[in-house]
Structure 1
């Protein structure tokens, strides 16, 4: 008899778990509560009030845990049913021993390499593992395999025994199985059980789960899609596709009794192997082991370890190779004691002996990069040991030629701005929406990108626009709808290249909610969509709805969600990631991911030249090895680590929101404070609510133009009267040793990562409470004058914040000239301005008062340098940019100590009027030449030809300059 007919129906059982942030937290709390309550119960008289209350709580906790434990191999639903039976029989002593030991093994992870014993006389599991136990786990890691099959209990036990018999002591891994009976249960297990590394989908199982759990049901939203009506023979392949979308790192195997060959031809990319019936258990077992082994391999790290064991004679660079210069020293042997000898045994500049060259990889580095491409969903991946600053310059130099126009978020990392200088690009800066209340910017709206592209189109220079460069996610956690941005931009310019700076977003690939907004995943989905017949039909309907005049109606184009032409659009996407910032890697370990369908034909040679230009010929092998190991980690446990990172962030948010003292002075910004209403069509103002828990996040991330990464915790501190820089240095770092690296005038940014622990979160909460108490005591003891000063500071930080200035414009001398000879486009030659500032004769210094006076008299004061206040850390000015009165006002209101490119004793370094006049005349000549060339080519029917003469253009350029009037 199948389990579905033998088990007790629970479809009516509706357990509300909204008070929990996740099922992981619920499970951990459940076992801890069981341990505490049973520990007391066994020592209480059965008729007392406390016994009755705790007995009821144990019953409730067991009912809450029962459906959750079905999705884990340990302790497993069979053992859990025994626990429930002991409770119902009143055998509380036996139950207490079992629950206590299970909880200890779950908390310490010793279940991965120890067997549970419920014998009262046996040794209890230890939370503190011995060195032998730790080495056992390192030598033979543990994982679980999901089996989807509506089998009987007897068949399930037989399957588990068969798996145990096949395992040998020399196997590289230890594994167990989790059996679920339905389509929905399989999806829930996939999202819940982070021990899973493989899934075997067998034939003949129902669609619906027997459980109705609020916290699990949110994962299944939108997944029905008529699947329940599909024949059972099709459910297996469909389930495989769904699991591949949710957790693409899992190995998938299909066991079917129909059309095995036909399914293999359709879904070979989804499943690792497809088996016909139960014809070969051994082959399936070996395939599972091989699949996990492939992800476990670290080609370069392994090669480096082997190299370190080889006896060598070093007759080249690196005196510290093999530790010789250290171990033979009388003065620096403490260095070896601190770092360990293996670090130096593996240090070399050799590219032979089993190693490889980063600049021309043909061995383990090449394979390691291929594995990284697989893990991150890229077509190609390149390692970088000089950080993402260098990775950004590599991509820009590889794809951008002098004179190409690049649309750039003005608030992007400084490496992009300097990369534009090196490449000779014409830069069109895009303004992000401002968050004036917190002195920080959000991200660039799609409407502004479309308007800018259409402006180039009107000017006849759209063909020069090469790339769009955006930061995803921003430092403050604003995340783009990446696929939508690329779709709408490609609808206007089909060959546009996209560079997504994901320096702080490398972890996003390994969680289904985050993944949908990454560059690589979006590129892959977009190309598949463009190639589909369904998309072509929708595109034809879309174009049919537009008349000829509509394509010239800018407002309509901006307001409409545009669709790219599937026959013309090319998907060319690059992403740079600071692996060391959010995943496991040594400092400066970064990756460049490529999903470019034209890479071989249009970019490969140039990319390799740029890579050679910027990559050291002596790369640090330890960094490369850490990138290799970091990739292994996220392929095998990335989902678990990212999920826990999110949970810890949510814990912090909830504490600040609910603690009566903390919320008096501090507030973590929710999505409604960081993303304006216009960019949140979901209408969701916070990802958490007491009624729906954290389910809101899933919905918002699906539809909103911008989403907020909840692991970026921007703490508003204005009501404390302390500015962000002081709070960071004086309180957090100097007093309590808490490290952060971003502030604004009235905020500080905390970030959880995959290394964050519950202890570190608890410490931060403790510190914030101490600071809040200190503020309480200080304000209580203030005199009348002190209180007025404090209130003035609070007002300055909460109500008197200067508006953030937009990018003004490039000076005429640095702006581009379109074919018509008219200055119509926003791009400027940042390289020309940058190198012009090298000549002292072209520059002068003006302090803020002098700049204000010059502006009032009509002079265009032009910056010769990048000017970057920190915080907030974005360039207020770039070379060639006109200093506006709004920018000057913002600079005057800043109270930060560190402003790169501005010298308080001298002021701004600006271009002299004489130098600009000379350059303007040169630009005017170029404009006139463009007019003449256009006229000579007889293109007046296509391009509006200006009749401006050199004198007229020059006069227009210099009309407002006092020096010119003289």
Structure 2
């Protein structure tokens, strides 16, 4: 296929990252080809070229459309006959309607007539542009995937039998899609985001006949091509159900079988909702399908809040704004009521009864909503929070850690964790992430760094005091851990270790199969199952015998196996509002701790009460409830689009000659050193080689890069990251971003990112590059030298990132291991007599070089990079001072420019040391 509308070259299939993008563009191209045929006919050179283009487009779309209910197999064949019979007028009418319905989502709301005999006067407004009232009145639409190898007559019978069961009072409307094989079922649920239920019938086969590589790539998620060959025919149905639960656990599966009840009852059927025994009970199947989707659609607290807002009440309690009374009666704040509308005030109350519930002691709709969130995110317990993940982090730390416990902490984690350590009285071991000096950022903590500290503590006889490992997954810059490997290897050293995974930026990951395997909750569930398997016990026993007299180096160089008696104790905190749909500060705590009930639950309750307001915002709680509904029903679709948007940005910048001159999208190889990944895991897109298979790297590499984060190196423009963010992107073009480093900016796509937003970003970058070209074209020799010097300073002369130095001896128990008493240091600084301020100049550096020990009294947090480079009780190193001086940032929390750096006096440190001894 070499032409687009007869003239411009059309991108080849290999240029597309996803089949959904290919499908969308090919329907647009088919519409253009049909318009050309209508205008020119199929005679002559141009007409023949248009005809060939249209035929090729139908050939490409045929295997794609087999997985979608609209326009459907029979309608698609009907369109093809229009082309074959040169009926270009009807072809154009029908293709236009399909293309417009697909792009606008109109097929979800109504039947789209494809025949020219049927009038279609309704508009094709995009769903997102419709008024909320109009969308709320419609019934949600989904598709049901039926897996069965049937002929055309049987397919028509199946489809019509199921559709006849539909009633006008049904809460949802669906259309069936029929595929023949197990492999087609897996392709279908990974490709068709409309699918909400799968019906597996006894006639299915194993292999797909689909030969389109962009569709068959979905099967690589499962590993080798021959992975399914060992499955026996009688296992096809049950195995399909198991695999569906493995990759799309939110979907409902229904198995129709001709095997005996006794045989089926003994099998693992994943999350199969119901088994039907070789009978064509279409009404029961239809009702079960609706009930299954209704189970996920339910929003207990949001529904209760809506009901409460409709009730007539008299308010003789707190909150004058309740029911909007203080606003409607005001002469001066009517604009607030007009801006927000009445519903938000009707739902404002301090009541916890009348159908509502208490966040502090939930027993009604809030508890039910939290239980549904636990099901959706794969946890055993989920708790809602209305004041952000900073509070969630402190709740978990306070609940799990007691004074004197040792906690291994990712040093460049969010500052709330450091404050949590102070509150809990933990002895902290700070672990260093691998540095990326060139870009002034850190990666993540290698598993060998964690093992090294655990083994040191074990050798010192302190392993019993080690309570928790705290890590950030994924990091702000998109580095994602191999969560399974980290937990397995750590549990091999300390079997009851608690893990807190800060997934503030990773809440969306549960709803995409590739991501999900690297989330805390999915891994915790996998690990629970793995530890029960006899193979795990045998492997652990064999390894223990081998490592009986091993050195630390041998332990570090061995992929450790967890013991079968290890306890799975995992917590994850997520900023729902950052990556999913929730009002600001809406967050969740997910718990998957085998010892939670007996050991932590009461302490957790107390910690939750300590940090949670007694007047939580009901609108935030309702948004968490609705956000959970959304991701269970369309999270897969939205995350797929989010990834596609990010990949489009990668491809555009990496293949544009002018953009490459001033910008660079940092690749996997740029952000993850070779020792932590396979040799071939270097990039997601390369202008010469095209797209790289991401499944392999995500399966095994120690670290992977979240493709939705695009780190753009901007040093080539002569602007540092902060200036490029504020002066160029935000002030000039209205593009908002959050994270920068000295020479990079970070773009993050989310579930709300649109293709037009992506196009605007690329347009802006091209405009910036063109302006730089014009500026340098007219620059004098001196101006050009000045520009080159700025670029060199940003790209070549970057200050090295400092490692954590050490805690001062006054805050350490001994010199054997590195843990420090951060709480004592923090509160020692409350007395001003214990502190001094030193001017931040060359004199300070000279004092360090002369051997004087200076100790920080507080957290010093420069923005960027946004994490503490000094904590209370930490010895200030020469490298840290040099880094601070080279940062040249306007915002450093904990540092007063008018006074200098705050340090402990020598007397205060000596007094504390002597008191300890």
Q: Same fold by TM (over 0.5)?
A: yes
Give matches, 1:194-593, under 5 Å: 194-221=193-220, 222=223, 227-267=228-268, 269-278=270-279, 280-544=281-545, 546-550=546-550, 553-567=551-565, 569-593=566-590
1:87 counterpart (50, 69, 83): 83
Please give the secondary structure, in 1, of the residue aligned with 2:336: helix
Question: What is the alpha-carbon distance in structure 2 between the residues aligned to residue 358 and residue 583 of structure 1?
Answer: 21
- Aligned position for 1:99: 95
- The answer to whether the 8 Å contact 1:298/1:628 transfers is yes
- The answer to whether the 8 Å contact 1:35/1:99 transfers is yes
- Aligned position for 1:754: 751
- The answer to whether the 8 Å contact 1:469/1:498 transfers is yes
- Aligned position for 2:774: 777
Question: What is the alpha-carbon distance in structure 2 between the residues aligned to residue 16 and residue 277 of structure 1?
Answer: 45
User: Cα–Cα, structure 1 residues 283 and 261, in superposed 2: closer, same or farther, change >3 Å?
Assistant: farther
Please give the secondary structure, in 1, of the residue aligned with 2:39: coil
Please give the secondary structure, in 1, of the residue aligned with 2:17: coil
Q: Cα deviations across residues 904-958 of structure 1 (Å, max 9, x unaligned)?
A: 22211000111111112123x1xxxxxxxxxxxxxxxxxxxxxxxxxxxxxxxxx
- Aligned position for 1:4: none
Deviation at 1:565, TM superposition (A): 0.9
Matched, 1:108 2:104: yes
Moved more, 638-647 or 223-232: 223-232
Deviation at 1:268, TM superposition (A): 5.4
Give matches, 1:831-870, under 5 Å: 831-848=823-840, 849-870=842-863
Question: What is the alpha-carbon distance in structure 2 between the residues aligned to residue 269 and residue 31 of structure 1?
Answer: 36
Question: What is the alpha-carbon distance in structure 2 between the residues aligned to residue 138 and residue 422 of structure 1?
Answer: 50
- The answer to whether the 8 Å contact 1:104/1:125 transfers is no
- Aligned position for 2:58: 62
The structure number with the bigger radius of gyration is 1
Structure 2 unaligned blocks of 5 or more? 1-10
- The answer to whether the 8 Å contact 2:584/2:620 transfers is yes
User: Cα–Cα, structure 1 residues 132 and 482, in superposed 2: closer, same or farther, change >3 Å?
Assistant: closer
Q: Cα deviations across residues 547-591 of structure 1 (Å, max 9, x unaligned)?
A: 5211xx000000000011102x10000000000000000000000
Deviation at 1:123, TM superposition (A): 2.3
- The answer to whether the 8 Å contact 1:746/1:798 transfers is yes
Please give the secondary structure, in 1, of the residue aligned with 2:176: strand
Please give the secondary structure, in 2, of the residue aligned with 1:43: helix
Please give the secondary structure, in 2, of the residue aligned with 1:227: coil
Matched, 1:827 2:819: yes
- Aligned position for 1:5: none
- The answer to whether the 8 Å contact 1:183/1:235 transfers is yes
- Aligned position for 2:20: 24
Please give the secondary structure, in 2, of the residue aligned with 1:116: coil
- The answer to whether the 8 Å contact 1:579/1:591 transfers is yes
Deviation at 1:134, TM superposition (A): 6.8
Q: Cα deviations across residues 591-629 of structure 1 (Å, max 9, x unaligned)?
A: 000001111011100000000100100000000000000
Please give the secondary structure, in 1, of the residue aligned with 2:525: helix
Matched, 1:719 2:719: no
- The answer to whether the 8 Å contact 1:27/1:68 transfers is yes
Question: What is the alpha-carbon distance in structure 1 between the residues aligned to residue 16 and residue 31 of structure 2?
Answer: 19
- Aligned position for 2:811: 814
2:42 counterpart (34, 43, 46): 46
Deviation at 1:161, TM superposition (A): 1.3
Give matches, 1:785-796, under 5 Å: 785-796=782-793
Deviation at 1:785, TM superposition (A): 1.9
- Aligned position for 2:4: none
Deviation at 1:689, TM superposition (A): 4.1
Using the size of structure 2 for normalisation, the TM-score is 0.96
- The answer to whether the 8 Å contact 1:405/1:428 transfers is yes
Moved more, 232-241 or 700-709: 232-241
Question: What is the alpha-carbon distance in structure 1 between the residues aligned to residue 248 and residue 235 of structure 2?
Answer: 20
Matched, 1:681 2:678: yes
- The answer to whether the 8 Å contact 1:388/1:503 transfers is yes
Deviation at 1:314, TM superposition (A): 0.5
User: Cα–Cα, structure 1 residues 542 and 131, in superposed 2: closer, same or farther, change >3 Å?
Assistant: closer
Deviation at 1:657, TM superposition (A): 0.5
Question: What is the alpha-carbon distance in structure 1 between the residues aligned to residue 680 and residue 132 of structure 2?
Answer: 51
- Aligned position for 1:728: 725
- Aligned position for 2:864: 871
User: Cα–Cα, structure 1 residues 33 and 20, in superposed 2: closer, same or farther, change >3 Å?
Assistant: same
- The answer to whether the 8 Å contact 1:572/1:597 transfers is yes
User: Cα–Cα, structure 1 residues 672 and 226, in superposed 2: closer, same or farther, change >3 Å?
Assistant: closer
Q: Cα deviations across residues 659-689 of structure 1 (Å, max 9, x unaligned)?
A: 1111111111010000000000253111224
Please give the secondary structure, in 2, of the residue aligned with 1:714: strand
Please give the secondary structure, in 2, of the residue aligned with 1:205: coil
Structure 1 unaligned blocks of 5 or more? 1-14, 818-822, 926-966
Please give the secondary structure, in 2, of the residue aligned with 1:760: helix
- The answer to whether the 8 Å contact 1:321/1:346 transfers is yes
Question: What is the alpha-carbon distance in structure 2 between the residues aligned to residue 604 and residue 81 of structure 1?
Answer: 60
Q: Cα deviations across residues 802-837 of structure 1 (Å, max 9, x unaligned)?
A: 1100000000001123xxxxx211110111111111
Question: What is the alpha-carbon distance in structure 2 between the residues aligned to residue 217 and residue 691 of structure 1?
Answer: 23
1:908 counterpart (898, 901, 907): 901
Matched, 1:883 2:876: yes
- The answer to whether the 8 Å contact 2:352/2:358 transfers is yes
- The answer to whether the 8 Å contact 1:383/1:592 transfers is yes
- The answer to whether the 8 Å contact 1:468/1:498 transfers is yes
User: Cα–Cα, structure 1 residues 28 and 756, in superposed 2: closer, same or farther, change >3 Å?
Assistant: same
Deviation at 1:539, TM superposition (A): 2.5
- The answer to whether the 8 Å contact 1:813/1:920 transfers is yes
Moved more, 236-245 or 530-539: 530-539
Please give the secondary structure, in 2, of the residue aligned with 1:266: coil
Moved more, 766-775 or 707-716: 766-775
Question: What is the alpha-carbon distance in structure 2 between the residues aligned to residue 659 and residue 889 of structure 1?
Answer: 38
- Aligned position for 2:595: 598
Q: Cα deviations across residues 723-772 of structure 1 (Å, max 9, x unaligned)?
A: 01111110111111111111000000110000011111111111111111
Deviation at 1:382, TM superposition (A): 0.2
Question: What is the alpha-carbon distance in structure 2 between the residues aligned to residue 51 and residue 871 of structure 1?
Answer: 59
User: Cα–Cα, structure 1 residues 305 and 867, in superposed 2: closer, same or farther, change >3 Å?
Assistant: same
- Aligned position for 1:938: none
- The answer to whether the 8 Å contact 1:394/1:614 transfers is yes
Question: What is the alpha-carbon distance in structure 2 between the residues aligned to residue 539 and residue 693 of structure 1?
Answer: 42
Question: What is the alpha-carbon distance in structure 2 between the residues aligned to residue 127 and residue 652 of structure 1?
Answer: 28
Question: What is the alpha-carbon distance in structure 1 between the residues aligned to residue 89 and residue 776 of structure 2?
Answer: 55
Question: What is the alpha-carbon distance in structure 2 between the residues aligned to residue 45 and residue 28 of structure 1?
Answer: 25
Deviation at 1:266, TM superposition (A): 2.7
Deviation at 1:264, TM superposition (A): 2.9
- The answer to whether the 8 Å contact 2:654/2:687 transfers is no
How many residues matched?
Answer: 901
Deviation at 1:218, TM superposition (A): 2.1
Question: What is the alpha-carbon distance in structure 2 between the residues aligned to residue 324 and residue 660 of structure 1?
Answer: 60
Q: Cα deviations across residues 250-309 of structure 1 (Å, max 9, x unaligned)?
A: 001100000333323433552111111115322221111100000000000000000000
Question: What is the alpha-carbon distance in structure 1 between the residues aligned to residue 125 and residue 12 of structure 2?
Answer: 35
Please give the secondary structure, in 1, of the residue aligned with 2:404: coil
- Aligned position for 1:961: none
Q: Cα deviations across residues 65-113 of structure 1 (Å, max 9, x unaligned)?
A: 0000000000011211122222122222211111111111111111112
